[in-house]
A = this chain, B = another copy of it.
Amino acid sequence: MRAMPDLHAVKAMVFDVFGTVVDWRSSLIADFTRWAQTHGIKADWTALVDAWRQAYVPSMDEVRRHPENGFVPLDELHRRSLERLVEQFGIANLTDLHLDYLTRGWHRLDPWRDSVAGLTALKRNFIIAPLSNGNVALLTNMAKYAGLPWDLILSAELFGHYKPDSETYLGAARLLGLRPDQLMMVAAHNDDLFAAQALGLKTAFVPRSTEYGPLQVRDFQPEGSWDLVAKDFVDLADKMGC
């Protein structure tokens, strides 16, 4: 083990998924472009995907601010945002099945090229799981599609709270029977790590500087005192002694 002394307690590593493990933007643009050609549907898919992702945080914040309305899984939030956006973008003639196909695009995302190799190495020494705002079905289907070797699926849906609500991070520790400091949160987003660290989790930052394409304005660098910074998942496994 080459892990730093204060990381010796870590038993499980939990991962942000969208952007950290999978390249949602390139995957969706390529998928929808291919699909639209075979269906004769014209649209600016890059603009749609970017606008769809922009709707992500506000749609979850709405759920976070109004717990009295109950938890709404991400598939449903994606679908609602999409229905609004196709109207806004003037994409005509989309059937219910078309909208289903597009919404389930979030289940068919390709991993960054180092993700599977790094996770496979880390799995030898650690419990590995997503800790994502994606719902369980989405994360399960994505793992089958992308070959992500998770030990289990941890999702905001299990806790009825979206990140960065504390219930998600502490819920993960509780379900695994671990103290927060036995859990390491891995993310390409500093905000996710600030929330995890405040609750006692260990933190690792892996930059994904092309996640948002030309729209990326942040998360090029670590902004907090993270326990580890790695250049990719293979480097992360190496630094964790795997």
Contact = CB atoms under 8 A, between A and B. Distances in A.
A152 B127 contact: no
Contact of A144 (B127, B143, B153, B175): B127
Interface in A132-151: 135-137, 139-140, 143-144, 150-151
Contacts of A151: 140, 143-144, 150, 153
Interface string A143-170: 1100000111100011000000000000
A180 to B, nearest CB: 14
A101 B194 CA distance: 35
A176 interface: yes
A90 interface: no
A75 interface: yes
A143 B139 CA distance: 19
What's the dominant secondary structure at chain A's contact region? helix
Interface bin, chain A: 10 to 19
A157 B174 CA distance: 11
A204 B150 CA distance: 26
A22 to B, nearest CB: 16
A177 interface: yes
Nearest to A129: B140
Contacts of A137: 175-178
A177 B75 contact: yes
Closest 8 CB pairs of A and B: A137-B177, A152-B153, A136-B175, A137-B176, A140-B152, A152-B152, A140-B151, A127-B140
